[in-house]
Amino acid sequence: MLTRRQFVLAPLLLSACGGRDEPKTRPLFAADTHPDEYPTVQALHAIDRLLNERTNGEMRVRIYAGGQMGAEKDTLEITVFGGLDLNRVNLAPLNSIVPETIVLALPFLFRSIAHARAAFDGAVGRKILDAMSAQGLHGLCYYDSGARSFYNTKRPIRTPDDMKGLKLRVQNSDIYVAMVSALGANPTPIPYGEVYQALVQGVVDGAENNWPSYESARHFEAAQHYSLTRHVMAPEVLVASERRWDRMTTEELDYLQGAAYDSVPIMRKIWDARVDAARARLIASGVQVVEEVDGPAFAELMLPVWDQFLSDPNIRALADEIVALEVTDE
C-alpha cells in the first residue's frame, strides 16, 4: 500500500521523467518543510500570485508545505532529480555540497540585519547562488532566517567565559560544532524536534536559534536565559531544479526569477513582524534577556574557525567581500 508521501511523490517523479514533451500547463511543484503559515511558505504563495497575475494564469505554483515531501535532505535530492521544481531549504544542508554557501554561515560575519540583507541582495550573494548550478540547482533568492542567539537553563551568557562547560544543542553541521567548541561549550547535534524534551530532561543545557523559533518550539519554557549574541544570520534559500530550469523559455525564466526577487520584501515584512511579536510575548512571559554581550570577545575566538572553513582562497575572497560591504542604514 502506498504511503501518503509516496502517493504525493508519484506524479512529481513521473513529471520529472517527462522530458520536453511534458505539458507546459502543469504548475511548478514547490516544497517547504515549514508549516503553511510560516513566512517562507507565504513567500511561495506570493510567487504563485505574482506568476498568475503576470502570465494570465499560464504559470502557477503548487505548494507542498509542512514536510509533505520529507526532510530537507530528501527534498534536495528530489529537486536535483527534477521531481520538484522549487524548494525552500535551510543553508545547512547545502554546506556539504556547495562549499561557497559556508561563507553565509560563518559566525559573527554580519554586523547587523541590514548588513546581512545587503550581502544577500548584492553581487556576492548572487555569486553564491550561481555556484549551486554545479549541483543541479539554480539559486533564485534568499529568505531571512533571523539572527541566532544562545539560550540556556543555567545562567546569563555575557562573555565567552559564561559558555564554558555548557552542553548546547547545535544543528548537524560542522561549522556549528566548531563554533560552539571554540567558545568552550560542548556541542551536541540533536534533531530540532527533539530539543524541547532534551532541555526539559537536562540532556542539554541550552541551544541557539532566532526569536520566533525559540518561542514556537516552546524552548523558553525550559531555558529562560536568552543572550543576544546574534552569532549567525545565515539565510534560507529558494532553489529551482536545473532540469526544470533548462526546459523553460527565456520569458518563463524571467517571470520566475522576477517573482522570486519580488517575494523577498514580502517575506521580510512578514518575518520582521513575527520577530517583533515573538520577542514581545517572550519578554512578557518572563524570559531573561541579556542585551549586553561582549561581541568582540566572541568574534575573536572565531578566527580559527574562519581559518578552518576558508582554506580555499576563492571562498575566503567571498567572505572578505562581505566584510568590506558598506551599509548606510546599519
- DSSP assignment of 17-60: T-GGGS-TTSPEEEEESS-TTSHHHHHHHHHHHHHHHHTTTSS-
SS3 209: strand
pLDDT, mean of residues 83-108: 94
pLDDT, mean of residues 134-152: 97
Residue appearing with cell numbers 549551486: 132
Task: Show Cβ contacts of residue 223 under 8 Å, excluding neighbours closer than 6 positions.
Answer: 151, 152, 153, 199, 205, 206, 207
Q: Where are the domains of the chain?
A: 4-145+235-276, 148-233+288-323
Nearest CA to 279 out of 293, 291, 264 is that of: 291
Residue 27 neighbours by CB distance under 10 Å: 14
Q: What is the pLDDT of residue 1?
A: 37
If pLDDT is split at 50, 70 and 90, which confidence band does 15 have? low
Residue 76 neighbours by CB distance under 10 Å: 22
pLDDT value at 2 more than 60: no
Residue 28 neighbours by CB distance under 10 Å: 22
The architecture in CATH of the region 4-145+235-276 reads 3-Layer(aba) Sandwich (3.40)
| Confidence (pTM) | 0.89
pLDDT value at 45 more than 80: yes
Structural element, H or E, at residue 260: helix 250-285
> Mean pLDDT for the chain?
92
Q: What is the pLDDT of residue 6?
A: 46
pLDDT, mean of residues 92-119: 95
Domain 148-233+288-323 sits in CATH at 3.40.190.170
Q: In whole angstroms, what is the distance from residue 249 CA to residue 253 CA?
A: 6
Q: What is the pLDDT of residue 192?
A: 87
Structural element, H or E, at residue 258: helix 250-285
* pLDDT tens-place string over residues 249-282: 999 999 999 999 999 999 999 999 999 999 999 9
Q: Point out the least confidently predicted range of 63-72, 151-160, 299-308.
A: 63-72
